[in-house]
Amino acid sequence: MQSVDIVIPVYNEEKTIENILEILENTDFCGLHKNFIIVDDCSTDATREILKKYEKKYTIVYKEKNGGKGSAVCEGFKAAKGDIVIIQDADLEYNPSDYAPLLKLIIDGNADVAYGSRFLGTPFKDFMFLSYVANKFLTFLTNLLYGTKLTDMETCYKAMKREFVNGMNIKSNKFDLEPEITAKLVKKGAKIKELPIKYNARSYQDGKKITYKDGLMAIRALFYYRFFD
């Protein structure tokens, strides 16, 4: 393995984008050469102006129309050229230092895809109760439908060999994004392993917007991509 592409979907992240970029710059990704692919989903705040400062340093894609996180991730996958592709949200819920052990699983040939599980490494008290229950149920349903043995399907932290994301045409844009990615990885025959990661959950006061409707959307996606896609 020679390089890792870090896909960063952003939308109105003026308060955190430079912070997360600095953290990623100072993070060791298992010794791999790292490339940043930042996809701005037509931000309406100062995010675009901030990103212009980094155009000579990183690959930056400016979408002309807001399409949701899934569309931004899809554009990032299209631009990926590294051996491994990972996704990094622009907020600070996840710690980039947790990616190195996930990458090592792939480098050592023990996995095609490595998931960072919040439920193996984060105490229950760090989750909102409804979020905890919803995530556990969706993971249970994933295991039931796809024959997997995951503990955290909805995790953002997924390190994937690029061959498994090549041609992945993502249709989902909200809480159904992770079910779609997982379904398509499983259908491609990816060997998925998990390791514990740290998680700093945001509250609704911090901007968390997930509701029961997102959970229903995820359930629909799991059935759709299992039986109809």
Asked if the model's pLDDT at residue 126 lies above 60, the reply is no
Q: Domain count of the chain? A: 1
The number of beta carbons lying within 10 Å of the beta carbon of residue 216 is 12
Report the C-alpha gap between 74 and 77 in whole angstroms.
5
pLDDT-derived band at 200 (thresholds 50, 70, 90) equals confident
Those residues whose C-beta lies under 8 Å from the C-beta of residue 90, and which sit 6 or more positions away, are: 8, 9, 10, 13, 16, 17, 20
Supply the CATH number for residue 32's domain.
3.90.550.10
Report pLDDT for 185.
97
Across the chain, what does the average pLDDT equal?
90
Kindly write down the DSSP assignment for every residue of 49-87, as one continuous string.
HHHGGGTTTSEEEE-SS---HHHHHHHHHHH--SSEEEE
User: What range does the domain containing 162 cover?
Assistant: 3-227
Q: What pTM was computed for the model?
A: 0.90
Q: How much of the chain, in percent, has pLDDT values that exceed 70? A: 91
The predicted-structure confidence for 69-98, as pLDDT tens digits, reads as follows: 999 999 999 999 999 999 999 887 888 999
pLDDT above 50 for 161: yes
Compute the average pLDDT of residues 187-202: 88
